[in-house]
Amino acid sequence: MRKHERAVPERTALPPVVDRATFDADLNHLRAREKAHTREGDEITAQRKRLPMVEVDASIPVTGPDGPVTLLEAFEGRTQLLAYYYMWHTGHPAEEQCQGCTWCTGQVQEISYLHSRDITFAVFAQGPYAESRAYRDFMGWTMPWYSGVGSLERLLVGRNIGQMYLISYVRQGDRVFETYWTTMRGVEVMDNNYALMDLTVYGRQEPFEDSPDGWPKQWATEDPVLPKVIDGRPIAQWSRIEAGRLTS
């Protein structure tokens, strides 16, 4: 086992074993709730589309690879923009950067589908451009990357700077409007691993989950809020280190 891999104890707690007919009956009962949940999600999405919007100054600058650009230019000519506000610890090494932001951002890789629907996805780091961009390159990410330093008070008006946010914008000509924002567990929409974990019998193995007695909670000891670290590093960093990438 590699040093950075986590030891997995032998599992002893398991669901009861039943015949196929009993299994199918219980699964069908759950399936009815799943379908209701899906329909409720569709209704929430429909309500989200009907929210009012607030105008944002389209000239607010963010810093990109060629220097300052406007919020409007970050749309890259598309009608909609999804901006992820990446938490950043200025001056800290890669292993001390936000594990939750690393977890979510690293899973937004194929953005051509968003582009096909006239949507641009970009990261607005809450730290200096050169420093945060070096982290982006170390992680091997390819999405557009900007720094919001100097403009965060205007971009995140009324919200706490230093917290993760996913914000939806739309433009009409040269005018920009904010239509929705979410934070904390709301940004899990960027993630597919949690959704896959939720389909398994042991789930995420995190403290908040409602699991039967004896179910493993292997991720209760590293960090009670964002347990996504092994040996002091965000999990996704280890494959990059093994590939020989430098962290600075």
pLDDT tens for 36-58 read 999 999 999 999 999 999 999 99
Query: For residue 180, what are the domain limits?
Result: 51-184
Residue 43 lies in a domain: no
- pLDDT at position 58: 98
Q: Which pLDDT score, from 0 to 100, does residue 209 have?
A: 86
pLDDT of 230: 74
Q: pLDDT value at position 7?
A: 60
Give the per-residue pLDDT at 246.
67
What are residue 62's phi and psi, to 5 degrees? -130, 155
Residue 108 CA from chain centroid, whole number: 8
Residue 242: its pLDDT value, please? 81
pLDDT tens profile 141-190: 999 999 999 999 999 999 999 999 999 999 999 999 999 999 998 999 99
In a domain, 78, yes or no: yes
**Total number of domains constituting the chain:** 1
Contacts for 98 with CB less than 8 Å, ≥ 6 apart? 86, 87, 88, 89, 164, 226, 234
Segments of the chain scoring below 70 in pLDDT: 1-11, 220-227, 246-248
Residue 231 lies in a domain: no
Residue 207 lies in a domain: no
Q: Say if CB 168 and CB 180 are below 8 A apart.
A: yes
How is residue 110 written in tokens? 């194929």
List alpha helices for 117-205, DSSP H.
Answer: 129-139, 152-155, 193-197
Q: Is residue 238 assigned to a domain?
A: no
Residue 140 lies inside a defined structural domain of this protein = yes
Write out the E strands in 24-101: 54-56, 61-64, 67-70, 80-86
In a domain, 131, yes or no: yes
Provide the CATH number for the domain around residue 141.
Answer: 3.40.30.10
Assess if residue 180 is contained within a domain.
Answer: yes
pLDDT value of residue 232: 75
